[in-house]
């Protein structure tokens, strides 16, 4: 029976410990890839015209100023309606008489097209941020497992030449 040296034992232990690294890394990568991106609700785009710019105070004590909210008029199913921007702009983003699009969701909620797109972009960015950590951590664990395998094999087959 061949003599088992301490380096061989350490190499076997390293090989055994590399398996959980591979499994944990693979699980994290699989979990990150299985996440479903946010869905886009059904909407329709309607032409609209800016009819008013609502002025509101903003900025606080140090830099008081005036911010503007866009009010757009559109027609939905023959009914005249208005959509107000959810964001205050400084300076005004739109001008009176300017045409833009209003996005109407299935439940009747109206968004100005730029804000709708910003909302979708923010949701997509949040999804990617939540997905990125387990994906990167999983690949790092799998890489550490590969290094541990190489270290273990090197220690098992290392021959002391002294």
User: Coil, strand or helix: which one is 5?
Assistant: coil
The CA distance from 79 to 137, in Å, is 53
Same domain, 97 and 113: no
Domain end position, chosen among 86, 105, 124: 105
Average pLDDT estimate for 117-142: 94
**Percent of the residues in the chain that have a pLDDT greater than 70, as a whole number:** 96
Residues 10 and 47 occupy one common structural domain? no
114 and 79 in one domain?
A: no
What range does the domain containing 79 cover?
Answer: 43-105
Asked if 90 and 10 sit in the same domain, the reply is no
Number of domains in the chain: 2
Q: Please identify, among 84, 105, 126, the residue that sits at the C-terminal boundary of a domain.
A: 105
Tell me, yes or no, whether 27 and 54 share the same domain.
no
- How far are the Cα atoms of 10, 43, 76, 90, 102 from residue 114, in angstroms, in the given order? 61, 14, 19, 15, 9
| Same domain? 78 vs 116 | no
- pTM greater than the 0.75 cutoff: no
Query: Looking at the predicted structure, is the pLDDT value of residue 78 above 60?
Result: yes
Indicate whether 78 and 96 sit together in one domain.
yes
Rounded CA-CA distance 125/72 in Å is 28
Question: Does the pLDDT at position 11 exceed 70?
Answer: yes
Residues 116 and 69 in one domain: no
């Amino acid at each position: 029976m061949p003599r088992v040296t301490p380096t061989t034992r350490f190499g076997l232990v390293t090989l055994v410990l590399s398996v959980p690294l591979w499994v944990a890394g693979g699980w994290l990568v699989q979990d990150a890839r299985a996440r479903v991106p946010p869905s886009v609700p059904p909407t329709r785009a309607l032409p609209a015209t800016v009819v008013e710019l609502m002025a509101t105070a903003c900025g606080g004590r140090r830099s008081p100023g005036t911010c503007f909210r866009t009010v757009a008029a559109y027609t939905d199913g023959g009914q005249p309606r208005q959509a107000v921007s959810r964001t205050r702009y400084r300076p005004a983003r739109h001008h009176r008489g300017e045409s833009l699009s209003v996005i109407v969701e299935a439940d009747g909620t109206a968004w100005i097209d730029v804000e709708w797109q910003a909302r979708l972009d923010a949701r997509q960015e949040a999804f990617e941020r939540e997905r990125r950590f387990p994906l990167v951590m999983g690949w790092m664990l799998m890489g550490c497992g590969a290094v541990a395998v190489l270290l273990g094999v090197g220690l098992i087959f290392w021959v002391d030449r002294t």
